[in-house]
Amino acid sequence: MPFLDGGKMIACLFSGGKDSTLALHRVMESGRNVDLLISMVSKNDYSYMFHKPNVMLTRLQAQAMGIKHEFFNTEGEKEAELAELEAAIVGSGATAVITGATASEYQKKRIDRICEEHGIEHIAPLWQIDPVEELNEISDRFEAIITRVAAEGLDDTFLGKRIDSNMIRRLQALHDKYGINMTFEGGEAESFVLDAPLFKRRIQISGAHIEHNLDEGTYVIEGAILVDKQSV
């Protein structure tokens, strides 16, 4: 039932990746109700703001959590995409919006501006979180996989692999060697969550393949279904 949070209509900018999913969990586990998941579908593979790989599968994640979900299209061009994001947020009727921003001033300041101009509360529970702390929580509580790599040291051996303790050690080594952001806030990689505490069912991948574009690799999920959590 919507509007349980003191009359607020809370929406979450939701890419299906680890950050937005963890931010959503943090807010809901604090006792607040979330009414809507907003997923931006970008035509640009290199959007400054939005995930591209597998974003259409956010509908399964929303279904697994029983939360209303809407797609909004964006050309994904720098700055212009902000107007499209603003239209989505304001058009949704939200009075508070959750984001998974962790370290990107570019993203947070722009969403702060949108929210301030329209009297909307910006909830960013992961802002300036310690990267290792976040990854450990993801490893312990979520089943999240890497779906895109785009930085030195990140190769195909990461694609489709779960973020677990071994993955965290590998990312720490790359951070020490190349200085990559371990939570991928600089666009080094992207992720997708298959299972989490709020999921009543988990996502099972039925088919996937790897695509390459210049120095990037993407794990494209061709098919996926919701299954009972006890299913292997």
Listing DSSP states for 54-101 in one string gives TGGGHHHHHHHHT-EEEEEEE---TTHHHHHHHHHHHHHT-SEEE---
3-state DSSP helix/strand/coil % of the chain, to nearest 5: 35, 30, 40
Question: Looking at residue 2, what is its pLDDT?
Answer: 44
User: Per-residue pLDDT tens for 34-49?
Assistant: 999 999 887 766 555 5
Q: Which of 82, 105, 123 is the last residue of a domain?
A: 123
213 domain residue, yes or no: yes
Domain that holds residue 82: 10-123
What six digits make up the tokens of 13?
């900018």
In this structure, are 107 and 15 located in the same domain? yes
pLDDT at 24 over 90: yes
Looking at residue 55, which CATH number applies to its domain? 3.40.50.620
**Mean pLDDT, range 1-9, rounded to an integer:** 60
Burial 218-231 (b: 16+ CB within 10 A, else e): bbebeebebeeeee
37 domain residue, yes or no: yes
Q: Assess contact for 40 and 84: CB atoms under 8 A.
A: yes
Percent of the chain with pLDDT over 90: 78
How far apart (Å, rounded) are the C-alpha atoms in residues 70 and 37? 6
Question: Looking at residue 82, what is its pLDDT?
Answer: 85
Q: Which of 91, 123, 155 is the last residue of a domain?
A: 123
In this structure, are 47 and 117 located in the same domain? yes
147 domain residue, yes or no: yes
What six digits make up the tokens of 70?
């809407």
3-state secondary structure of 10: strand
Nearest-10 crossing angle of helices 131-141, 18-29:
80
In this structure, are 19 and 112 located in the same domain? yes
Question: Looking at residue 43, what is its pLDDT?
Answer: 73
Q: Which of 79, 95, 123 is the last residue of a domain?
A: 123
In this structure, are 137 and 207 located in the same domain? yes
In this structure, are 72 and 37 located in the same domain? yes
Looking at residue 164, which CATH number applies to its domain? 3.90.1490.10
In this structure, are 158 and 118 located in the same domain? no
User: Per-residue pLDDT tens for 135-188?
Assistant: 999 999 999 999 999 999 999 999 999 999 999 999 999 999 999 999 998 889
In this structure, are 108 and 145 located in the same domain? no
Question: Looking at residue 107, what is its pLDDT?
Answer: 85
Could you tell me the pLDDT band of residue 3, with boundaries at 50, 70 and 90?
Answer: very low
Residue type, 181: N
Question: Looking at residue 187, what is its pLDDT?
Answer: 86
**pTM assigned to the model:** 0.92
In this structure, are 117 and 14 located in the same domain? yes
Q: Where are the alpha helices (DSSP H) in 68-181?
A: 80-92, 105-118, 131-141, 165-178
In this structure, are 37 and 99 located in the same domain? yes
In this structure, are 115 and 150 located in the same domain? no
How many structural domains are present in the chain?
A: 2
pLDDT at 104 over 50: yes
In this structure, are 43 and 114 located in the same domain? yes
In this structure, are 27 and 115 located in the same domain? yes
